[in-house]
Amino acid sequence: MENTVTINGMDDVVSTLQRLLDSPDTDVSYRIDVQNLPDFELYLKGEKFDNSITPSIMKGVIELQKSIYRAYLIARYGSDNLQMLNNYERSALELRVIVQPGSTDLIAKMCDVAIKLFELINGMENRQKYIIILTVLAIIGSGVGWMFFDSYLKHEATKLDMSKELLIERERTKQLLETQKNTIDAVQMAIKSQHIKDNTEAPQSNPLNNEEEGPVVEEETPPNNTAATNNDNKAIHFKQLKKTDVELIAVIEKARNFDEKVELASIRTEESMRKLMASTASADFVRFNNQFEASGNTMQQIASTEKVESEDITIRKLFRVLNIDSKSTEFMQARLRPEDQSYPDFNAAFSDNSISQEKLDRLTTALTSYHPIDLSITAKKKRGKLDKAFIAQVRNLDTTKSFKQQTEESTDV
């Protein structure tokens, strides 16, 4: 390569990623040299954290490691299947995590692993692979906390609006009950007055005509609005937003919409970061990646606030048929892999009433011949994966291509 782009911090990650996203070229004419990146830091304070970490935190750190592995796998192979890693790749991309003295202070050396990521895709300098790795580094390094917190604030605002509606409804109910109580009191007073006037009459057996009180209506105390309560457990302190932070949030969102593989890598990384954040629930105090501070309980709430919606999609691509399950005569399905590996492997079902024997024969031929087949698939897309997929149309095989060599190579490994 003639040129080298040097990365010395998150500013360079932002500018390089933006440059790649705006480029019309599929390939890039330069290599990326990572010289410096901020460490990922997780500071924890509490009874269980004194130069030690709990099993839950260990699981959180493992999630951080998985996000690195998946970034590489999606960039190189188009799949997030961790079983595809060989021993060399697994070892090369292993995070070095340091536990500092005092309360538990975990520091993951992101620069070292970033260097290895680009080394392993050396000679594969196409734009998509670079975008995937830089986007994942951006999510881990900075920006993601702001996105999580934004979702949390919107969630809390929704709860606050609901609480306001509840309070309004309670007030209406209270006023209605108060009116009813006043009516009952008025009736009681009228009956008592009539009883005094007609003193010669014997008392009647009337539930309203006695010395006891009428129905007692207790005024309900409005519930505490936790969304508006400002207590120590809810206190969240953020660092001052810098221009780079704002730009990074924008460029991560832009990268997510670049294509399916970048979207998948982004979603997987954010899932891991949420799990890492949630693993701090038992800590009294947490500082997450030098972005914000809160109690572990609040961190867990922030991490769990996510609205995931599925969308209906129809895709037409060349697919590799990995398997056909025809055990059930009423409900058969095929295991499919997009030729461009834009989605992880998935099952697509079809009814024997909706597919002819001729089309089933084509799928079987695609399976045994290793040739890709042209299919239209309808599915639900959620978190970068396809769910409830159905084979809508079966077209012809592409006999100019074959997956047989890939199969033999994977068998050798």
pLDDT for residue 66: 93
pLDDT for residue 124: 64
Average pLDDT estimate for 313-326: 88
Q: Is the pLDDT of residue 65 over 90?
A: yes
Pair of tokens at residue 25: 């070229």
Average pLDDT estimate for 222-236: 42
Q: Is the pLDDT of residue 220 over 60?
A: no
Question: Residue 388 in 3-state DSSP?
Answer: strand
Report pLDDT digits (tens) over 255-271.
888 888 898 898 888 88
pLDDT for residue 283: 87
pLDDT for residue 320: 93
Q: Is the pLDDT of residue 14 over 60?
A: yes
Average pLDDT estimate for 199-215: 43
Least Cα distance to 301 among 314, 289, 288, 311 occurs for 288
Which residue reads 């011949």 in tokens?
A: 369
- Kindly state the percentage of the chain with pLDDT values over 70: 66
Average pLDDT estimate for 72-95: 90
Give the residue, 160 or 50, on which the prediction is more confident.
50
> Hey, what amino acid is at 78?
G
Average of per-residue pLDDT values in the chain = 76
Report pLDDT digits (tens) over 122-142.
776 688 899 999 999 988 887
**E-strand stretches of 257-303:** 285-288, 292-294
Strands of 285-288's sheet, edge to edge? 97-100, 105-108, 40-45, 285-288, 292-294, 237-238
pLDDT band at 373 (very low <50, low <70, confident <90, very high): very high
46: left (phi over 0), alpha (psi -120 to 50) or beta: left
Share of the chain residues as helix, strand and coil, in percent rounded to the nearest 5: 45, 20, 30
Least Cα distance to 394 among 375, 412, 366, 370 occurs for 375
Contacts of 264 (CB under 8 A, 6+ apart): 74, 80, 343, 344, 384, 385
pLDDT band at 242 (very low <50, low <70, confident <90, very high): low
Residues 367 and 403: their CA atoms lie apart, in Å, by 10
Q: Is the pLDDT of residue 42 over 50?
A: yes
pLDDT band at 8 (very low <50, low <70, confident <90, very high): very high
Question: Residue 336 in 3-state DSSP?
Answer: strand
- Kindly state the percentage of the chain with pLDDT values over 90: 19
